[in-house]
Amino acid sequence: MTAIVIGASSGLGRALAEELARNGHALLLVASDVRDLVALAADLRLRHGVAVEPLALDLSREPDPGARVLEALGEDEASALLMPVGVSREDDAFGLGVGAIGQLLAINLHAPLAIAHALLPRLLVARGAIVGFGSIAAVRGRGRNVVYAAAKRGLETFFESLRHRHAPSELRVQFWKPGFLRSNLTFAMKLPMAPAEPSDLAADVVRRLPKGSFDRYAPAKWALVARVLRALPWSLFRRVKA
């Protein structure tokens, strides 16, 4: 049985790879930077004695990422597919060029959907888990993070469809919506709240892997923030700068 981590080389993905290896899972790790991945795989094998395979893919260019992941998986059963992949841009506002829009959609939405579709039959055979990651940024549309938030909202809808279609006994469908995390995505950003540690979220994600299907904010305090943001009347919400 192999757990697959898409976006495994840094931040939450790296922390998930560490936590899964510590818990004895064999791993297939996917990201674009081959050197990071090969070093991470060797380190996890050495320290935790589990099988770890790296797969370098640039998800902004790969025409069929699902087929590449399936090919790398070979005959192994897929116990879990975790997709902490994501990319955002400072200039993600109106006026972004078509190439940049395509790249944001490819990495944040198209690749996760394509990989999920390709692996679904294998996950169903194993009665496994599929785990996606949205964002607090997708709660309401703002004038920044425009394409990123649209992609994350799309991903959230896709996971809701999966939950609607599959009972937790056949496939556990888990969707996490993080607030701020200390990672490359937030490096050097001025944040209104202290970021959570990826290792803390990763421990929570791995602990809840056997625990059915759900959609939740992480840490849980962000559920309250989301509720307040949703309840704000438009005339007030328009003035929110964050």
Ligand X SMILES: NC(=O)c1ccc[n+]([C@@H]2O[C@H](COP(=O)([O-])OP(=O)(O)OC[C@H]3O[C@@H](n4cnc5c(N)ncnc54)[C@H](OP(=O)(O)O)[C@@H]3O)[C@@H](O)[C@H]2O)c1
DSSP character string of 52-92: EEEEE--TTT-S-HHHHHHHHHTT--EEEEEE------TT-
Q: Which stretch binds ligand X (CB under 6 A): 90-98, 114-122, 177-185, 222-230?
A: 177-185
Q: Which stretch binds ligand X (CB under 6 A): 9-17, 74-82, 119-127, 207-215?
A: 9-17
Answer yes or no whether residue 10 interacts with ligand X by CB under 6 A. yes
Answer yes or no whether residue 107 interacts with ligand X by CB under 6 A. yes
Nearer to ligand X, 125 or 228 (CB): 228
Answer yes or no whether residue 76 interacts with ligand X by CB under 6 A. no
Distance of closest approach, residue 50 Cβ to ligand X, in angstroms: 19
- Count the helices and strands in the chain (H runs, E runs): 9, 7
Contacts of 75 (CB under 8 A, 6+ apart): none
Answer yes or no whether residue 66 interacts with ligand X by CB under 6 A. no
Answer yes or no whether residue 199 interacts with ligand X by CB under 6 A. no
Q: Contact at 8 Å (CB) between 19 and 80?
A: no
Answer yes or no whether residue 185 interacts with ligand X by CB under 6 A. yes
Answer yes or no whether residue 184 interacts with ligand X by CB under 6 A. yes
Shortest CA distance to 142 belongs to which of 207, 238, 64? Answer: 238
Query: How big is the CA angle at 201 (ends 132 and 135), to the nearest 5 degrees?
Result: 45
Q: Which stretch binds ligand X (CB under 6 A): 6-14, 41-49, 92-100, 117-125?
A: 6-14
CA-to-CA distance for 63 and 176, rounded, in angstroms?
27
Answer yes or no whether residue 128 interacts with ligand X by CB under 6 A. no
Distance of closest approach, residue 182 Cβ to ligand X, in angstroms: 8
Nearer to ligand X, 192 or 233 (CB): 192
Answer yes or no whether residue 58 interacts with ligand X by CB under 6 A. yes
Q: Which residue is nearest to ligand X (CB)?
A: 11
Query: Three-state DSSP class for 220?
Result: coil
Contacts of 157 (CB under 8 A, 6+ apart): none
**According to DSSP H, which parts of 82-145 are helical?**
98-105, 111-125
**Counting every residue, how long is the chain?**
242
Nearer to ligand X, 13 or 128 (CB): 13
> Which of residues 23, 33, 45, 48 is near ligand X by CB under 6 A?
33
Binding residues for ligand X, rule: CB under 6 A, are: 7-13, 31-33, 36, 57-60, 84-87, 107, 133, 135-136, 178, 180-181, 183-186, 195, 198
